[in-house]
Structure 1
């Protein structure tokens, strides 16, 4: 339990040991489940709860703070790492009302079986006075679910942003202490969770810019006492500009695709293009997602397995397709033994990407001199595309 502003406290939990989220997302630095108490002269509000595995920590913090009454539990987002302890809170504080929007109310009824009469539904820009503290509710849909909202504490100029601006990072510091560390964690979080919703996030950033904010308190990671640091980072990430970079995600079975990947890496470097290679047999999904945020070009490399793409290459394609980065160009390299439709399959798996597909380079067996020359030509084609959009010389 730590104070953010007078009568505004952080009461959430640090999860030092969690290493996987949604059974999918790596958490190399753990995470936090941030919850906040705002005490007015008349009412007390709890903003979000914690993952049910950490409910004892939340309860202990509330006891330490001397909270014997909660009037409102603000639910910004229905996902259980924020909402999962609401039923327990309602049992301990039976007079509390769950404050949220209509979409979130419906989800919480489905997910947690909270009774319908325990809710107070609020509209966009509605205010809730607590006595010297006023909560204003800002709808921010699709960061990253359709029901997500934020709360602005008017008197203290604090934005409680839920997953918006979050970072999976377990740290003992309440506020950002190491900007490069937090930047990397926040970019990973954006890449893995927020990137598919870039157009909507841009609109929500406009709402944030219209507020006079001194502190951003997200639901994961440290609190930002320099809001421009994270807001400007998001503006960069959701913008349309790409960098003179190629993400090369590949897997190789008998070194043929490996040799092709190595040759292409060297060819791209020789042409002044930054290459970010990922051998998919031991790639951190989060690192790959981060690289996709800015890269102008993605190249997938795969051998042919039973006439199709290697499953790891197909998985990488599915990940890229789901994350929808602002990548402009894509290509495919690889090899086959007798026949197959590896390139057609991989191209079909990235249909969500708004990219120009540069003709693939596929070798029969071990790559020949002609194949290596074709890879040089592919590097030339990538350079030409990058020059055409003004990111390479």
Structure 2
């Protein structure tokens, strides 16, 4: 569907209503979109990014409807959900030139075998004059690949932000509703952007020097309220965490669940916000989402063949890979005859710059002395959150 953003600026991308997993890794319960944009200048026409190769024909149909010739294809990022239709676009518009940065050019020649003579390479701050429409290119590496850049349309104050500020949502709405988009955008940040939090903070400052009215990302609806999403990113990337404890857990025979439930109740009574996440029912995107603001994570697991439950292994690996701004971590759980569950979990969180709260691994069901130790863990968490000034 073609959507008008401003005069001679169109969204020509495609909604993918049925997709439920991305990169064979990330669950996307609301589908997604592959946003491509067309800018018609007085002299030249530019297509900004393409779409996933599964949706190439729909993109081509949108372009045929507009009855345009394409002079430039701006490649903000080489990943195939953005660039996958590029070979077909160049086949249909043989005179078009691919405009991108040196790193993205390198990747596109490797991924899509595009001939080097089809490229125009740009540097940070370079501009492309389309005739009464001028695109400025801002290199924003590691948001979330090393090749990423964004394109800024000066006259209309539109930032074509690539994966920056995206959300995996398929929708008939052109523009985002701030309330509805907050959680999908935060989940997108958590799953994709959080490992690059420090770099993203610097890139926020970089694009913040431009006057931006509209942000048009590569996935999800467009932001007319650019301040809303930029402020959200500033909050998510800040070093300060919130008065939140996340407890990803599994319980096979009820022992670990009893420990979790008891600890949750004690923390709530102390004024600590806590979110238990039963990994039997919780997808890893929700775990990532809750990690964005959490100060403390309690990993809770039974022992399975001497180690942690596989679902807990996955959640622990995810937390280690995403590198959230956690300050404290502990482990609780149970075993039947023995094992190395605690040792294995501790070995999986080396990326986390955290203080460890004394763990509690018990044999069988929790007993009175175990509940007392859980009280001690809860008190430690309360005291540490209080020292940070977040309670």
TM, length-normalised to structure 1: 0.98
Mean alpha-carbon deviation: is it higher for 92-101 or for 338-347? 338-347
| 1:11 maps onto 2:12 in alignment | yes
Query: 2:53 is matched with which residue?
Result: 52
Query: 2:269 is matched with which residue?
Result: 270
Distance (whole Å) between structure 2 residues aligned to residue 356 and residue 110 of structure 1:
43
1:328-339 to 2 correspondence within 5 Å?
A: 328-339=327-338
Distance (whole Å) between structure 2 residues aligned to residue 186 and residue 214 of structure 1:
18
Query: 1:350 is matched with which residue?
Result: 349
Query: 1:94 is matched with which residue?
Result: 94
Distance (whole Å) between structure 2 residues aligned to residue 390 and residue 342 of structure 1:
33
Query: 1:130 is matched with which residue?
Result: 130
Aligned 8 A contact 1:251 1:281 in 2: yes
1:191-232 Cα shifts (integer Å, max 9, x gaps): 010001010000000012100111110000111111001000
CA displacement at 1:92 relative to structure 2 = 0.3
Query: 1:104 is matched with which residue?
Result: 104
CA displacement at 1:266 relative to structure 2 = 0.8
- Does the residue aligned with 1:334 lie in a helix, a strand or coil? strand
Distance (whole Å) between structure 1 residues aligned to residue 276 and residue 25 of structure 2:
21
- Does the residue aligned with 1:103 lie in a helix, a strand or coil? helix
Distance (whole Å) between structure 1 residues aligned to residue 274 and residue 57 of structure 2:
46
1:41-83 Cα shifts (integer Å, max 9, x gaps): 111100000001111110111011111x211100001110000
CA displacement at 1:180 relative to structure 2 = 1.5
Distance (whole Å) between structure 2 residues aligned to residue 136 and residue 209 of structure 1:
14
CA displacement at 1:284 relative to structure 2 = 1.8
CA displacement at 1:363 relative to structure 2 = 0.7
1:120-160 Cα shifts (integer Å, max 9, x gaps): 11000001111111111000111100110000011111100
Distance (whole Å) between structure 2 residues aligned to residue 21 and residue 386 of structure 1:
36
Distance (whole Å) between structure 2 residues aligned to residue 2 and residue 256 of structure 1:
55
- Does the residue aligned with 1:290 lie in a helix, a strand or coil? helix
- Does the residue aligned with 1:248 lie in a helix, a strand or coil? strand
CA displacement at 1:367 relative to structure 2 = 1.3
Distance (whole Å) between structure 1 residues aligned to residue 224 and residue 242 of structure 2:
29
Query: 1:85 is matched with which residue?
Result: 85
Distance (whole Å) between structure 1 residues aligned to residue 180 and residue 214 of structure 2:
19
Query: 1:298 is matched with which residue?
Result: 297
Query: 2:319 is matched with which residue?
Result: 320
1:190-201 to 2 correspondence within 5 Å?
A: 190-201=189-200
CA displacement at 1:88 relative to structure 2 = 0.3
CA displacement at 1:317 relative to structure 2 = 0.2
Distance (whole Å) between structure 2 residues aligned to residue 172 and residue 62 of structure 1:
19
Distance (whole Å) between structure 2 residues aligned to residue 210 and residue 383 of structure 1:
40
| 1:65 maps onto 2:69 in alignment | no
Query: 2:25 is matched with which residue?
Result: 24
Where do 5+ consecutive residues of structure 2 fail to align?
Answer: none
Where do 5+ consecutive residues of structure 1 fail to align?
Answer: none
- Does the residue aligned with 1:225 lie in a helix, a strand or coil? coil
1:233-252 to 2 correspondence within 5 Å?
A: 233-252=232-251
- Does the residue aligned with 1:359 lie in a helix, a strand or coil? coil
CA displacement at 1:305 relative to structure 2 = 1.2
1:142-221 to 2 correspondence within 5 Å?
A: 142-176=142-176, 178-221=177-220
Aligned 8 A contact 1:215 1:227 in 2: yes
Aligned 8 A contact 1:328 1:355 in 2: yes
Aligned 8 A contact 1:362 1:371 in 2: no
CA displacement at 1:368 relative to structure 2 = 1.1
Distance (whole Å) between structure 2 residues aligned to residue 208 and residue 106 of structure 1:
24
Distance (whole Å) between structure 2 residues aligned to residue 371 and residue 314 of structure 1:
24
CA displacement at 1:285 relative to structure 2 = 1.4
Distance (whole Å) between structure 2 residues aligned to residue 299 and residue 60 of structure 1:
51
- Does the residue aligned with 1:113 lie in a helix, a strand or coil? coil
Distance (whole Å) between structure 2 residues aligned to residue 37 and residue 358 of structure 1:
53
- Does the residue aligned with 1:161 lie in a helix, a strand or coil? strand
Aligned 8 A contact 1:77 1:147 in 2: yes
1:228-247 Cα shifts (integer Å, max 9, x gaps): 01000000000011111100
- Does the residue aligned with 1:204 lie in a helix, a strand or coil? helix
- Does the residue aligned with 2:295 lie in a helix, a strand or coil? strand
- Does the residue aligned with 1:295 lie in a helix, a strand or coil? coil
Distance (whole Å) between structure 1 residues aligned to residue 111 and residue 321 of structure 2:
24
